[in-house]
Amino acid sequence: MTNLLADRRAVTDDLDVLVVGGGFSGIYQLERLRSLGFAVKVYEAGSDAGGVWHWNQYPGARVDTEATLYQFSDERIWREWNWSEMYPGQEELQAYFRFVIDRLDLAGDIRFSSRVIAARFDEETDRWTVETRDERTGETFLSRARFLLPMLGTGSKALYPDFPGLADFQGDSFHTSRWPKNYDMTGKRVAVIGTGASGVQVVQTIAPDVAHLTVFQRTPATAIPMYSRKLDAAANDELRQRYPHLFEYRETTFAGLEYNVIFTPTAEVSDEEFTATLEDLWSKGGLHIWLGGYADMFFNSDVGDRIYAFWREKTLPRIKDPALAEKLVPSVPPYPFGTKRCPLEWTYYDAFNQDNVELVDLHEAPIQEVTRNGIRTADGREHEFDVIVLATGFDSFTGGLTDIDVRGTGGESFGDAFREGTRTALGRATAGFPNILYVYGPQSPSAFCNGPTCAELEGDWVVDCLVHLRDNGLTRIEATPEAEQEWNDHLGALAAATTFPLANSWYMNANVPGKKTELLAYPGGLPLYLEKCRESSDHGYAGFVLS
């Protein structure tokens, strides 16, 4: 185990706060803490701005919540920035981040291509010593900071399948979040493995251009139409009138969006009204039918199945071959609707009507191995490819943390600490790891919350906390084991009342071999979560020891 505390190398940055990750959460911390006089820097492993919007450069990558709230609430930004459409693509989002960094003059406090690889806490000084690798040179350097804020999001650790032979494949192979810049798929024979939000976007985008596309499906997606619309200058001006209200309203909604779930119990709703409401939500497109739909769907799988039947009726006619339709849109719901993320699509289902697009159902023919030329399935077929795309998702909640060799005061790593299950107080911190605070981390609303909303609202709690510590001459904050237990019990009770445990989803951490299956996104909704956070801070940061 590296003894960083005894490492005598010169220190590159001596900071109050070191933020790991330059996505929405990290950039928000940088701007706010800097304006309050903290010495703060962001270390970002990527070579350019954007967080996930830098890493996910696959064809068709596009945000799937409306731009109205998928942005910072800072007026200096939204007064000037114009969106070209309601669901902007990756390039536009990365340009947005560059604009923010430029407009707020943040570049001098961001180190790009800098991957934090290890950290040790000095109990004498209450400071972290952090080791970082320069991704361009491979060299490492040391920094010190009182507080270490891992702002790693849910998509920083790509999940690779362990198919035998993958490393020996002679063609090109990459994960959707490690897409080679400007890689041209034209005329190639392509495999896409995985049909989550990333796979759906890739498939519908490349299908018209590739020579042949084989989609390997383990679980069918319940993809819903996006319906993006172009926004001209007048439309942006009209949106600007609404932003101040929307930035206030978002914190009253379940998912931090401009719309809320419907709390009316479906038992009190007639069949006609139920269907009319679904029709209305469907016509709006986007995630409305899910995060703006009947909340009952998350507690009662019969309700989920009724929504599934509606979705199926809408989707089925788009697929010409009935056998193929049964695989993509099965008559029996593969999981209660809403327990897996609904990808957004525009031509995903239509793509399967093309002669050059094929579906392999992995339940019928599992992948046996990757050969030098392609993929061999259990039915004995060898599918030949030029490219294998791994749209296999992420080790979302704890993967970013467990990848860094952080040692807590007891010498344990995050991997050790989470071996029997993840533990945090308020989704904010873990006992034994003082002066580390998360935003959008495990056991916070994260995957159920619009990213920028939680980056800011959770982020404000962290900023206020650091100001409180500074104003009171305190140098250390640490979650108590009792508060962790209480949070785990609370989250566990909420989770048990929902239908989420009925699906093998990444929400349940079920996609990561070796990690405990448990719901790691807080399912109580953003308002309840914020109330719990306020209860703690209003009571002198109850659940945390400050010294």
146 binds ligand N01 (CB under 6 A): no
Tell me the closest approach of the beta carbon of residue 75 to ligand N01, in angstroms: 25
173 binds ligand N01 (CB under 6 A): no
391 binds ligand N01 (CB under 6 A): yes
Phi/psi region, residue 393 (left: phi>0; alpha: psi -120 to 50; beta: rest), is: left
400-459 binders of ligand N01 (CB under 6 A): 447
Q: Return the percent helix, strand and coil in the chain, to nearest 5.
A: 35, 20, 45
506 binds ligand N01 (CB under 6 A): yes
Which residue number, 132 or 217, has a Cβ lying nearer to ligand N01?
Answer: 217
Residue whose pair of structure tokens reads 């206020």 in the numeric block: 464
Tell me the closest approach of the beta carbon of residue 507 to ligand N01, in angstroms: 8
Which residue number, 366 or 468, has a Cβ lying nearer to ligand N01?
Answer: 366
63 binds ligand N01 (CB under 6 A): yes
Please identify, among the stretches 196-204, 262-270, 280-288, 423-431, the one whose residues bind ligand N01 according to the rule CB under 6 A: 196-204
Residue whose pair of structure tokens reads 């406090």 in the numeric block: 109
Which residue number, 64 or 458, has a Cβ lying nearer to ligand N01?
Answer: 64
Tell me the closest approach of the beta carbon of residue 408 to ligand N01, in angstroms: 29
Inter-residue contact 444 to 453 (CB < 8 Å): no
Please identify, among the stretches 187-195, 477-485, 521-529, 530-538, the one whose residues bind ligand N01 according to the rule CB under 6 A: 187-195
The Cα 144–Cα 130 span in angstroms is: 6
In 3D space, the residue among 204, 161, 244, 221 whose CA is nearest the CA of residue 61 turns out to be 204
Angle of the 451-471 helix axis to the 526-538 helix axis, nearest 10? 0
Please identify, among the stretches 8-16, 233-241, 386-394, 521-529, the one whose residues bind ligand N01 according to the rule CB under 6 A: 386-394
Select the residue interacting with ligand N01 from 222, 392, 435, 536 (CB under 6 A): 392
Inter-residue contact 432 to 409 (CB < 8 Å): yes
Please identify, among the stretches 140-148, 321-329, 458-466, 503-511, the one whose residues bind ligand N01 according to the rule CB under 6 A: 503-511
Which residue number, 118 or 449, has a Cβ lying nearer to ligand N01?
Answer: 449
Tell me the closest approach of the beta carbon of residue 3 to ligand N01, in angstroms: 37
Select the residue interacting with ligand N01 from 22, 23, 59, 199 (CB under 6 A): 199
Phi/psi region, residue 542 (left: phi>0; alpha: psi -120 to 50; beta: rest), is: beta
Strand partners, 149: 19
Which residue number, 447 or 483, has a Cβ lying nearer to ligand N01?
Answer: 447
Residue whose pair of structure tokens reads 């793509």 in the numeric block: 351
214 binds ligand N01 (CB under 6 A): no
327 binds ligand N01 (CB under 6 A): no
For residue 486, give every residue at least 6 positions away whose Cβ sits within 8 Å of its Cβ, in sequence order, or none. Answer: 425, 543
Single-letter code of the amino acid located at 420: E
Residue whose pair of structure tokens reads 């450069």 in the numeric block: 57
Instruction: Give the largest Cα separation in the chain, rounded.
Output: 73
HSE, side-chain direction, 13 A CA sphere, residue 96:
28
165 binds ligand N01 (CB under 6 A): no
166 binds ligand N01 (CB under 6 A): no
State the binding string over 339-378 for ligand N01 (x if CB under 6 A, else -): --x--------------------x----------------
State the binding string over 449-478 for ligand N01 (x if CB under 6 A, else -): ------------------------------
Angle of the 301-315 helix axis to the 271-284 helix axis, nearest 10? 60
Which residue number, 64 or 386, has a Cβ lying nearer to ligand N01?
Answer: 64
Which residue number, 336 or 543, has a Cβ lying nearer to ligand N01?
Answer: 336
Here the tokens at position 385 are 């490819």
In 3D space, the residue among 442, 440, 433, 395 whose CA is nearest the CA of residue 414 turns out to be 433
288 binds ligand N01 (CB under 6 A): no
Which residue number, 467 or 510, has a Cβ lying nearer to ligand N01?
Answer: 510
The Cα 67–Cα 84 span in angstroms is: 10
DSSP for 232-268, written as a single string? -HHHHHHHHHHHHHHHHHGGGSTTSSSS--B-S-GGG
C-alpha pair distances (Å), 243 with each of 223, 237, 249: 29, 10, 10
196 binds ligand N01 (CB under 6 A): yes
Residues engaged in binding ligand N01 (CB under 6 A): 62-64, 155, 161, 176, 193-199, 201, 218-219, 341, 362, 391-394, 447, 504, 506, 511
